[in-house]
Chains A and B, each alone.
Chain A
């Protein structure tokens, strides 16, 4: 009994000033925010849009949203792994752009399969390079991927010689993203599959645990036998690969590509989706399915504002405020827990 009290005090002394009851309470709150968090505002927004806008709830509109968000969803899903592993990937926009033009150039003259494979491979390679620079040379991932985005952007211009690439709708390449199955285009199916696979990878596999550990406390993870560098390289490589895949999906959907498409705007939209989904920018915590909700939440705001005819100006302001709220809540929760 005495020991128990002493033990309790030991913990309390370490807990500094916050009373235990409060800490437990906030921890619960935090947990419920992290698990349900973005889902509640998403459902509210969904309900509001269903009531206020006639065309919103139409299947075609909903599928259209998913189709438009296919690339963003794929890239954000993989980006979640990078963020949870304690990194950040700002080069995804540029990689996406490079992937579209590489796929476009090849699809114009060669088989669609080759174009797809080459684009994904380009993405994987960029990701691998990012990962190696971050781990082997220990350069801050923000700077690494920012620098890489300039390099890749330049490479994309080189590939196209600055021209717009336009493909024909008759090619097999078009079918890659537009083949219909159960009235849903293949781009959506691929995206769902990709997000589910990455979600399970993070939440149910040893690799996922290692990602969480590497981002949560790299030193502790390493001493516990986790190959932190390897894990980070794989995460970056997946992120690059996802950007490659997203690029092919979009050029197959849109049939035109240009160096510079995607770019930083895409990288930041992806980051916004991840963060709004409740994944911590400090690493060590996050989930892929919530990133999915986060991306769709942002998409719904855009879609809803369009349908309701609100000035797009407000769309950006609202998005910015939501982003700040999400990050602020995360910081607040972390501070409470320390």
Chain B
């Protein structure tokens, strides 16, 4: 299984060359269920090695094993031929293995330089030697080629710059292997480009990068080698030069992509309009207008930070709207409370189910019935049996799999947690549903179930807005797609025009504007 490699020691151009990291026959089980089975990979020094696969394929597990967060049940790691036992991220760090996690670990109140040297400050008798710190920082920044000011408060930086801070911290500790888990997930396009440049320069300097990413184009353009995982098994490791997106997807899914989406029902072009957004302005939203019809699924695409979620919150009346109107079934939605919106028939499934959606410690039952307790209570007194009956019906309809409705939400899988939010929404029987990233962090099987659910709800007569960063998802589900850029709707795509190219062109409209509709 291990990747054969003809050049045992390729010439290094700059920096200190590290050693190859070999992962041999590694398995990891969680509570009896294999997350990783007999996986062998060689991470070559100075190369970018990508791990791809669907959620649950085991790529994060592998990344965590390499960075010492978890320990394998079987198999060994060797670094430069010597066995390597990593019991903690700290030990990994001692061997030059650094992780840059999705959630950045900077201290927002400290300066850039202080963050970079956090935990390894140059100090005399407990007092930090600021000048020395700054000198070292400048030296490092020059070496990596970042133009970051040492004295800026890190919390004021953009996400990409904060990521640079983390990368510099990694380099300041002489990292020879950097593990990046979904590094561009939270970045804008320019920031992503900057990150890519950083990754390339890291590998030029002899640092190996383990890149875990969902974005196949990113993987293809950056990596030297790509390892495909599926259901915890190694499918194959390929040279990036010989791979295409199609071949990677085929390897990840074990089937072609088209089967992943339910067939689209034909949208009725003259169905009544259920939602009308007129010249809406709110923080992050500049003058958006569109209409949504009964039974229609409207996709909203765009880069992260383009104002999609902000638009959703503005429509839902959960943001300060400075101008414009939202009409629900022809009646203006005034005031500013989600409570009112929900009782008028507008429901939002927020983008982050843990932070904004669920009461993680509370039961499935309480999570589902929360929005419409009035339906299962009289004069404020909850009718326990009525609630249980309603909840069990909703669980069936939305295919929530849970051993019991008394189980707390934490005990459910990501997919089932997401379905709880759908069950809650169905209980509200809204005329309009806004689903923001409805399948984020959800495995393939649940994804399909959620797509089916969305389609079913549309067929029942709801108007549905789906916001998603996954282009395939928006294109595969929606009858019509709006593309957002800088808080505006930069394009409306229907029928034949709905293609990945058209969406991307509109999302990056500076380069090639498609037909402007508004």
> Chain A residues in contact with chain B, CB under 8 A?
2-17, 19-24, 27, 204-207, 209-210, 212-213, 216-217, 219-227, 284-285, 337
Residue B445, interface by CB 8 Å:
yes
Chosen A-B contacts, 22 in total, with CB atoms closer than 8 Å, are A3-B443, A3-B445, A3-B446, A7-B416, A7-B445, A9-B443, A10-B414, A10-B441, A11-B412, A13-B56, A16-B70, A209-B366, A209-B370, A213-B359, A216-B361, A220-B359, A223-B350, A224-B371, A224-B424, A225-B370, A225-B428, A227-B339
Contacting pair A209 B445 (CB below 8 A): no
Interface string of B371-392 (1 = CB under 8 A from A): 1011001001110000000000
Contacting pair B58 A9 (CB below 8 A): yes
**In the complex, A71 Cα to B357 Cα: how many Å?**
38
| A19 and B231 in contact, given A7-B56, A9-B58, A220-B356 (Cβ under 8 angstroms) | no
Contacting pair A225 B30 (CB below 8 A): no
Candidates A19, A21, A223, A285; contact of B318 at CB < 8 Å: A223
Q: Known A-B contacts: A9-B231, A220-B358. Give 17 more (CB < 8 A).
A: A2-B445, A3-B443, A3-B444, A3-B445, A8-B413, A9-B56, A10-B56, A10-B413, A11-B413, A13-B55, A16-B69, A209-B373, A212-B362, A223-B338, A225-B343, A284-B361, A285-B361
Contacts of B446 in A (CB 8 A): 3, 7, 10
**In the complex, A23 Cα to B412 Cα: how many Å?**
12
Contacting pair B338 A224 (CB below 8 A): yes
Candidates B30, B318, B380, B416; contact of A206 at CB < 8 Å: B380
Question: Which secondary structure characterizes the binding site on chain A?
Answer: helix
Of all chain B residues, which has the CB nearest A206? B373
- Per the 8 Å Cβ criterion, residues 217-237 of B in contact with A are 231-232
Contacting pair B33 A9 (CB below 8 A): yes
The smallest C-beta distance from B37 to any residue of chain A, in angstroms, reads: 11
Residue B342, interface by CB 8 Å:
yes
The smallest C-beta distance from B39 to any residue of chain A, in angstroms, reads: 14
Contacting pair B382 A205 (CB below 8 A): yes
| A220 and B445 in contact, given A12-B35, A27-B411 (Cβ under 8 angstroms) | no
Contacts of B54 in A (CB 8 A): 6
Residue B410, interface by CB 8 Å:
yes
Residue B18, interface by CB 8 Å:
no
**In the complex, A27 Cα to B374 Cα: how many Å?**
30
- Per the 8 Å Cβ criterion, residues 174-232 of B in contact with A are 231-232
**In the complex, A20 Cα to B369 Cα: how many Å?**
27
| A207 and B442 in contact, given A23-B411, A212-B359 (Cβ under 8 angstroms) | no
> Chain B residues in contact with chain A, CB under 8 A?
30-33, 35, 54-56, 58, 60-61, 69-70, 231-232, 316, 318, 337-339, 341-343, 348, 350, 355-362, 366, 369-371, 373-374, 377, 380-382, 401, 408, 410-416, 424, 428, 441-446
Of all chain B residues, which has the CB nearest A13? B60
**In the complex, A204 Cα to B376 Cα: how many Å?**
12
Contacts of A5 in B (CB 8 A): 33, 231
The smallest C-beta distance from B193 to any residue of chain A, in angstroms, reads: 29
Contacting pair A213 B370 (CB below 8 A): yes
Contacting pair B30 A6 (CB below 8 A): no
Contacting pair A7 B31 (CB below 8 A): no
Contacting pair B232 A24 (CB below 8 A): no
Candidates B35, B231, B358, B413; contact of A217 at CB < 8 Å: B358
Contacting pair B362 A12 (CB below 8 A): no
Contacting pair B61 A13 (CB below 8 A): yes
**In the complex, A215 Cα to B156 Cα: how many Å?**
30
**In the complex, A5 Cα to B232 Cα: how many Å?**
10
| A223 and B359 in contact, given A17-B69, A206-B382 (Cβ under 8 angstroms) | no
Q: List 10 tightest A-B contacts by C-beta distance, closest first.
A: A3-B445, A20-B31, A11-B413, A12-B30, A225-B342, A9-B56, A10-B443, A10-B56, A206-B373, A216-B359
Contacting pair A19 B35 (CB below 8 A): no
The smallest C-beta distance from B335 to any residue of chain A, in angstroms, reads: 12
Contacts of B381 in A (CB 8 A): 204-206
Contacts of B339 in A (CB 8 A): 225-227
**In the complex, A312 Cα to B19 Cα: how many Å?**
67
The smallest C-beta distance from A212 to any residue of chain B, in angstroms, reads: 7
Contacts of A3 in B (CB 8 A): 443-446
**In the complex, A11 Cα to B229 Cα: how many Å?**
17
Contacts of A210 in B (CB 8 A): 373
Contacting pair B33 A206 (CB below 8 A): no
Contacts of A337 in B (CB 8 A): 361, 408, 410
Contacts of B337 in A (CB 8 A): 227
| A19 and B31 in contact, given A10-B443, A220-B355, A284-B359 (Cβ under 8 angstroms) | yes
| A6 and B382 in contact, given A21-B31, A209-B373, A337-B361 (Cβ under 8 angstroms) | no
Contacts of A205 in B (CB 8 A): 377, 380-382
The smallest C-beta distance from A84 to any residue of chain B, in angstroms, reads: 12
| A204 and B31 in contact, given A216-B359, A217-B359 (Cβ under 8 angstroms) | no
Contacting pair B232 A9 (CB below 8 A): yes
Contacting pair A7 B362 (CB below 8 A): no
Contacting pair B370 A226 (CB below 8 A): yes
Contacting pair A220 B357 (CB below 8 A): yes
**In the complex, A220 Cα to B60 Cα: how many Å?**
27
Contacting pair A12 B55 (CB below 8 A): no
**In the complex, A210 Cα to B348 Cα: how many Å?**
18
Contacts of B415 in A (CB 8 A): 7, 10
Contacting pair A6 B231 (CB below 8 A): yes
Contacting pair B231 A2 (CB below 8 A): yes
The smallest C-beta distance from B420 to any residue of chain A, in angstroms, reads: 11
The smallest C-beta distance from B341 to any residue of chain A, in angstroms, reads: 8
Contacting pair B370 A224 (CB below 8 A): yes
The smallest C-beta distance from B84 to any residue of chain A, in angstroms, reads: 19
**In the complex, A5 Cα to B33 Cα: how many Å?**
8
Of all chain A residues, which has the CB nearest B415? A7
**In the complex, A274 Cα to B318 Cα: how many Å?**
34
Contacts of B316 in A (CB 8 A): 223
**In the complex, A212 Cα to B370 Cα: how many Å?**
10
Of all chain B residues, which has the CB nearest A2? B231
| A13 and B35 in contact, given A205-B381, A212-B359, A337-B410 (Cβ under 8 angstroms) | yes
Candidates B33, B58, B357, B441; contact of A14 at CB < 8 Å: B441
Contacts of B342 in A (CB 8 A): 224-225
Contacting pair B445 A6 (CB below 8 A): yes
Contacting pair B445 A223 (CB below 8 A): no
**In the complex, A10 Cα to B381 Cα: how many Å?**
38
- Chain A CB within 10 Å, residue with most, of B61, B361, B366, B374: B361
**In the complex, A320 Cα to B471 Cα: how many Å?**
58
Contacts of A14 in B (CB 8 A): 413-414, 441
**In the complex, A220 Cα to B338 Cα: how many Å?**
11
Contacting pair A6 B338 (CB below 8 A): no
The smallest C-beta distance from B282 to any residue of chain A, in angstroms, reads: 16
Contacts of B374 in A (CB 8 A): 206
Contacts of B35 in A (CB 8 A): 9, 12-13
The smallest C-beta distance from A21 to any residue of chain B, in angstroms, reads: 5
The smallest C-beta distance from A138 to any residue of chain B, in angstroms, reads: 15
**In the complex, A13 Cα to B443 Cα: how many Å?**
11
The smallest C-beta distance from B436 to any residue of chain A, in angstroms, reads: 10
**In the complex, A19 Cα to B348 Cα: how many Å?**
33
**In the complex, A11 Cα to B54 Cα: how many Å?**
13
Contacting pair A6 B444 (CB below 8 A): yes
Contacts of B411 in A (CB 8 A): 23-24, 27
**In the complex, A212 Cα to B443 Cα: how many Å?**
30
Contacts of A27 in B (CB 8 A): 408, 410-411
**In the complex, A161 Cα to B361 Cα: how many Å?**
50
Contacting pair A209 B382 (CB below 8 A): yes
